[in-house]
Structure 1
Amino acid sequence: MKRFLTFIFSITIAFSVTSCQKWKGEHTDIYTYTPPAANPVSDKQPLSCSGGSSVVPVKGTMLSGKTYNVSAGCDLVINPADTLFLQPGVTLNMGSRSSIIVLGTLVSNGSKNQPNYITAPGMIKNDVPGGVAASADSAYAGHWKGIIGGPNCNLMVLRWTHVEYAGYAEGSATSAIASSGANNQYSILFANYKGNFVMEDSWLYGGVDDPVRVSAGKIAIFRNTFEKNGVHGGDCLNVKGGTTGTMAYNLFIGTATNGQKASNKGQATGAPQTNVVMYNNTFISGGYRQVQSGRGG
């Protein structure tokens, strides 16, 4: 019996060593590893719509260090079976009234040393305290519509990503594609209670109303900075019925109303009740732009 156990022990050790050797050199750190580019997106020409349609289908990989430009009034659409992946160090310049509509998967995988920018070109920040009124501040101009997750968007990830100057009203054409509201002015919308929205180590600058609205979804929102969000109302992180997950270690500066909010309002059929854990968030100088009585932060 002793010989038999010794034999089994030897086989186990040998298998373990072989397994370790098999995995030697594999990429196991998902926070630093960038996979090879699949279907690189060309930066040679602007991403433009034509023929009377606002739709520009997009998928594949936006490459590190490249700058991509979206023409005015065009909607980048990631179709249900498609994925758009942004490597670290990508700049995506959004033209006026343009948008990103996510019906499939969006992953903006910036890094600490190479953050990504989804922004409006040529804008000038006015961040001196008391410098300009909200009506004259570029942060609240709503230059482009925002990142709009449709009801079937299964995954939206923003890591080390700057999202700036969004909040232009969706309009009927964009809302019809995304199955959302024409008057929405959210910088980021996620609306699938079966899907996942992840936002980590990112920055959201400016915005008109509820810069992040989660109508339903599984969320993980950690270590982000939300600055100058909302003109005269709106909450930075406003999650509704069917949202579950965590908001933690976020910084809110100069918000129109509250920094974060959760409710069961608008719960979709079949969706769970809202259950969101919030802790260790920091709020600075919020609530003073809210115009409705009793609604200050």
Structure 2
Amino acid sequence: MSNSFTRALGGLALGLLALTSCKKTESLSITAAPQPSSHPITSTTLSGNLKGTLLSSVGTYTMSGDVHVALKDTLYVQKGVTINVTNNSAFFVDGNLIVEGTAASPVTFTSPLNKKGSWGGFQCDSAQSVSIKWAHINYAGGPNATGSPRGTIRIAPKSPKQHIKVTIQDSWLLSGTDDGISLFGGGVVVDIQRNTIGDEGTTDGDAINLKSGATGVVAYNVLWNGAGTAIKLETSPTVLYPQTNVTVNNNTIVASGYRRGAGEPGRAISADKFAQGAIFNNLIVNDYYGLDINPVADVKNVIYGYNYFYTAVDSTRKNFYPAGSIGKPQPTDIISTSKTDKDPMFVKLSATTDPSQGVDPNDYHLQAGSPAKGKGNPTYNNDIGAYTSDDKGNKH
């Protein structure tokens, strides 16, 4: 979600940050990943308290009401399982969620209505751990009790001393009504890699929204047609510990930020409100704004370079590093000066900047001879963007 703030607080808060940096680091408890539960779930209708294993051999389940995974319990989903969610139901996770699809047999969470906001997504505010691999998660974001849209995957630990491991890999998050992945409060250790996240939000909503102490890696993701910002890093304007500090590398970000409107358009990548980060090798194409490093970020600890900026929309070319940003073009960046200059050479890129809802007509793999190949910071990858010449990149 978008957040306005008062820049006048920046100087005071940065001063407080300097003071707090001298304090002794507090100890943190880290929740270990659980072993998969062996209790088989054979009933094909799901609701209420649930623990155990959703079975490949059963195949398809219908979720008719909210599912609650209690503290210390584990819900394990085997490869190939499909869960059809009805009645705007949601997963509420206080324990552990493990989704183990494979490339050949992904897991699917969807709604038979096949439209945005049809079910409530994963509400994991008190989860002990979340691991989702090779899963399709479609049409989430249905309203909560107050009528507000819900994020597809939301995690907000109650204590900053509780570190929660969040792994989301090789999955597809498509056509939610709000944030795709939103992590608020406490200490969350993220491993968000090789996903495709598209068409998230309506007039607002970020693809990946990391706040208030998140640390880890966001890499090799394809992010397209988000309403707001594709990757947002923030801490807090008032609570400076723990700081958000995330490595953001080799993401391909296309056509983000338009639906929020000109008043506060979305960014491809934003470092805001006392966040730290390392931002390298990202391929930023046809986005309303490019890389925004806000003056109230922890500017001395935001490092960046080797990013690639291209647009076919002349009016947005000036926004690669938007006005008011501390960020400046780097000698290692690749920056297009016209529609015909430094085209990244996707296999297919249509003229539109706003693909129709839930359907992306493009193919963001790089053709042979692309200027993005071999131009990355080798600390992360020799190539720029999510699809790389080695075996580290996006598998979709």
TM-score w.r.t. length of structure 1: 0.71
Q: Identify the residue that residue 96 of structure 2 maps to in structure 1.
A: 105
1:183 counterpart (131, 148, 167): 148
Structure 1 SS opposite 2:184: strand
Q: Which one of 207, 217, 223 corresponds to residue 236 of structure 1?
A: 207
Residue 213, structure 1, aligned to residue 205, structure 2 = no
92 and 266 in structure 1: CA distance in 2 versus 1, 3 angstrom threshold: farther
Q: Which stretch of structure 1 is more off in the superposition, 105-114 or 205-214?
A: 205-214
Shift of 1:120: 0.7
- CA drift of 1:291 comes to 2.7
What is the Cα deviation at residue 292 of structure 1? Answer: 5.4
The count of corresponding residues between Structure 1 and Structure 2 is 226
Pairing partner for 2:81 from 83, 90, 102: 90
The secondary structure found in structure 2 opposite 1:107 is strand
- CA distance in structure 1 between the partners assigned to 2:239 and 2:124 by the alignment: 16
Q: How does 1:259-274 map to 2 (within 5 A)?
A: 259-265=230-236, 272-274=242-244
Paired residue type of 1:67: T
Equivalent AA in structure 2 for residue 116 of structure 1: V
CA shift in 2, pair 1:70/1:263, >3 Å: same
Distance of aligned partners of 1:264 and 1:88 in 2 relative to their CA distance in 1, 3 Å threshold: same
Partner letter of residue 47 of structure 1?
Answer: L
State the partner residue of 1:41: 41
Structure 1: how far apart are the matches of 2:237 and 2:200? Answer: 23
- For the 8 Å contact 2:46–2:62, the answer to whether it is kept is yes
Are the counterparts in 1 of residues 152 and 176 from structure 2 also a CA contact under 8 Å? yes
- Unpaired runs of 5+ residues, structure 1, are 1-34, 49-55, 124-137, 173-181
Please state whether the residue corresponding to 1:252 is helix, strand or coil: strand
1:7-35 CA deviation, whole Å, 9 max, x = no partner?
A: xxxxxxxxxxxxxxxxxxxxxxxxxxxx9
1:287 positional shift: 1.6
Contact 2:37–2:75 (CA<8 Å) still a contact in 1? no
Whether contact under 8 Å (2:68, 2:94) holds in the other structure is yes
AA of the residue aligned to 2:142: Y
Question: Does the CA-based 8 Å contact 1:241-1:266 persist in structure 2?
Answer: no
Structure 1 pair 243/36, CA: closer, same or farther in 2 (3 Å)? closer
AA at the equivalent of 1:155? S
State the match for 2:139 in structure 1: 165
Q: Secondary structure at the match of 1:93?
A: strand
Measure, in 1, the Cα distance between the counterparts of 2:149 and 2:129. 21
Question: Which structure has the highest helix share of the two?
Answer: 1
Q: How far has the Cα of 1:36 moved from its partner?
A: 8.3
Distance 1:122 1:155, change over 3 A: same
Mapped to 2, the partners of 1:243 and 1:230 lie a distance apart of 22
Contact 1:201 1:222 in 2 (8 A): yes
Separation in 2 of the partners of 1:231 and 1:190?
A: 21
Match in the other structure for 2:54: 62
> Which of these residues, 80, 86, 95, is aligned with residue 71 of structure 2?
80
The one-letter amino acid of 2:43's match is D
Counterpart residue number, 1:199? 168
Contact persistence 1:225–1:251 (CA under 8 A): yes
Q: CA RMSD in A?
A: 2.0
Equivalent position of 2:105 in the other structure = 114
SS at match of 1:89: coil
Task: Judge conservation of contact 1:215–1:266 (CA < 8 Å) in 2.
Answer: no
Closer/same/farther in 2, CA of residues 267 and 43 from structure 1, 3 Å limit:
farther
**Partner Cα distance (1:171, 1:105) in 2:** 24
Equivalent position amino acid for 1:229 in 2: E
Once the two structures are TM-superposed, the CA of residue 96 in structure 1 deviates from its matched residue by 2.7
In 2: Cα distance, 1:86 partner to 1:104 partner:
14
Q: Secondary structure at the match of 2:68?
A: strand
CA distance in 2, matches of 1:103, 1:113: 30
What is the CA-CA distance between 1:47 and the residue it aligns to? 1.8
Please, which runs of 5 or more residues in structure 2 have no aligned partner?
Answer: 1-34, 268-396
Instruction: Indicate the structure (1 or 2) with the bigger Cα radius of gyration.
Output: 1
- Corresponding residue of 1:146: 121
Name the CA shift for 1:186/1:81 in 2 (closer, same or farther; >3 Å).
same
Structure 1 residue identity aligned to 2:230: G
Q: CA, structure 1 residues 91+268, in 2 after alignment: closer, same or farther (shift >3 Å)? A: farther
Distance 1:207 1:274 in 2: 25
1:211–1:229 CA contact under 8 A, matched in 2: yes
